[in-house]
Amino acid sequence: MSQSNENNIWTRERVEKYVQSTEKLINFRYNPFARQIINSIDKFGIEGIPKILDIGCGPGLLLFEIKKIFPEGKLIGVDSSEQMLKIAKEKAEQNNIDELELMKGLAEDIPLPNDDIEVVVCLNCLHDFKDAQQTIEQVYRVLRSGGIFILKDKNGDYPRWKMRLHFIPLILRIGLKRARAYLRSEPFWLEPHEVYNWMDQLGFQEISVSNKPDYVIIGKK
């Protein structure tokens, strides 16, 4: 979720409308990314029961999908919006989801200690944060040595005509009005190589980049 001005406008009514539209994308957006996260945990050899932190978790849809696939994981969600966190808590209770901790906080100042988390994930919201580079620095701080960061976001370097073709399935799923609202954030989309450079400068290793309409970057501390 955006943390620039969103905290002032995420009313209960607006959050409920947002959830209604994004729940239509569970099989299209959230479940595939959850599976990619679990595959990455296996690929990088994360041992034991990892803590998985979702920054900008919103109403918790990604966390719930991770829980379905990886029920033993300890999940943590951080978001700046109280209303989003309230909805996430209610949905977790409705679905009997435990081992889930929800925290109010900024991505630029994650309310967790150093070297505390094995896996940090972020889906489609890094470009919304006030300071994306500082967010990456905070991710590095809270990750344990050997921990991984898995980021998926809109690609600011992708050809615009191809990006609009990519949005046709989104329009069919959530409607033209909601899809247009989604595209309004286009000027703020980051270029993958910029994020790669930030991560490389911090000391992330084994950084991989998938340069698609929704780029994916994975790095190990």
Report the pLDDT value the prediction gives residue 182, as an integer from 0 to 100. Answer: 67
Instruction: Look at residue 215 and give its three-state secondary structure.
Output: strand
Report the pLDDT value the prediction gives residue 6, as an integer from 0 to 100. Answer: 45
| Joined tokens for residue 116 | 């505390």
Give the DSSP letter string of 93-112.
Answer: HHTT--SEEEEE-BTTB-SS
Report the pLDDT value the prediction gives residue 137, as an integer from 0 to 100. Answer: 98
Report the pLDDT value the prediction gives residue 5, as an integer from 0 to 100. Answer: 43
117-135 residue pLDDT tens: 999 999 999 999 999 999 9
Give the DSSP letter string of 116-179.
Answer: -EEEEEEES-GGGSS-HHHHHHHHHHHEEEEEEEEEEEE-TTS-HHHHHHHTHHHHHHH-HHHH
Q: Let me know: does 7 contact 86? Beta carbons within 8 Å.
A: no
Report the pLDDT value the prediction gives residue 21, as an integer from 0 to 100. Answer: 81
Report the pLDDT value the prediction gives residue 171, as an integer from 0 to 100. Answer: 76
Query: Which class does domain 6-220 fall in?
Result: alpha beta
| Joined tokens for residue 139 | 């991710």
**Domain boundaries of the chain, sorted by first residue:** 6-220
Which pTM does this prediction carry?
0.89
Instruction: Look at residue 203 and give its three-state secondary structure.
Output: coil
**CA-based nearest residue to 63, from 55, 72, 50, 54:** 54
Report the pLDDT value the prediction gives residue 3, as an integer from 0 to 100. Answer: 46
Low-confidence ranges of the chain (pLDDT < 50): 1-7
Report the pLDDT value the prediction gives residue 119, as an integer from 0 to 100. Answer: 98
